[in-house]
Amino acid sequence: MIHFHPLPVPLVRNVIYTTPFLHMRYDGTDCALMVTPSDTVQHFESRHGNFLMSFTSRYKQEFGFIIPERSIIVDDVRIRGIGRARTVSQTKLPEAQVLPTVLEVVNCYFDGENMSTQVFKLGDLTFGHSLDGPAVLVDESSTILVEPGCTARITQYGDVEIMVGQDIKRDLGPELDTIRLSVFSHRFMSIAEQMGRVLHWRDERPVQERLMEHRRTAVAGNKQNPLGST
């Protein structure tokens, strides 16, 4: 059953976009993939896009192989509709005439030493203000840290643009960095797990395909010769 709910703000037709999805699988398999049409234009594709290329590419990415001699079955069709509201216009800030007000000065720990860090209220800053790090910009729901060697600038529309310093150099040595080791170890383990899943499916799926093919052959033989006589 399909339920329709009225939108709080009516949308005109030219801001409503739809995307079709097909639940596709190879004949004789139980692994269906939800795919969207490919962006590659082919002369034989439907007006909604090339689903065949998208399915084969996704299947090979997941399992490491494709079955070109098999037919492809579409289990169901889904349509996603998106209504885009009009973009909210941005308000330009007035240009700064005075230096920003410092709320307080605190000590922060950077690169193994304490440094005096100025704290500013983000709502008091306007277009043209430039703050050299270290500095802290506080707001009602967020905090922005400007590290030493960086500069924070307030744009015309109130965004904070941070320019990262180019003169900061760190020597790499043989010393053990536990944080960096933990990050790289996690990344390498994630890559290894993904490779393992692909290899597992690549080895397992052909066995399942052969078993299902043998089962269909046996069922077809029993239907032709139900008594088992020759």
Give the model confidence (pLDDT) of 80-118 as tens digits: 887 776 666 678 888 888 888 899 999 988 887 888 899
**Residue 43: pLDDT band with limits 50, 70, 90:** very low
Predicted local distance difference test score (pLDDT) of residue 50: 82
**Residue 138: pLDDT band with limits 50, 70, 90:** very high
Query: CA angle, corner 190, sides to 189 and 192, nearest 5?
Result: 60
- What's the CA gap between 48 and 44, in Å, rounded? 11
Query: pLDDT for 1-27, tens place per residue?
Result: 445 555 555 556 667 778 889 999 998
Query: pLDDT for 181-217, tens place per residue?
Result: 888 888 888 888 888 777 776 666 555 555 565 565 5
- Residue 39 gets which letter from DSSP? S
Q: Return phi, psi of residue 194, to 5°.
A: -65, -40
Predicted local distance difference test score (pLDDT) of residue 152: 92
| Higher-pLDDT residue of 78, 213 | 78
Predicted local distance difference test score (pLDDT) of residue 190: 84
Percent of the chain with pLDDT over 90: 14
- What's the CA gap between 148 and 112, in Å, rounded? 12
In sequence order, what DSSP letters do the residues of 111-152 get, joined into one string?
A: TTEEEEEEEEEGGG--BT-EEESSEEEE-SS-EEEE-TT-EE
State the chain's mean pLDDT as an integer.
78
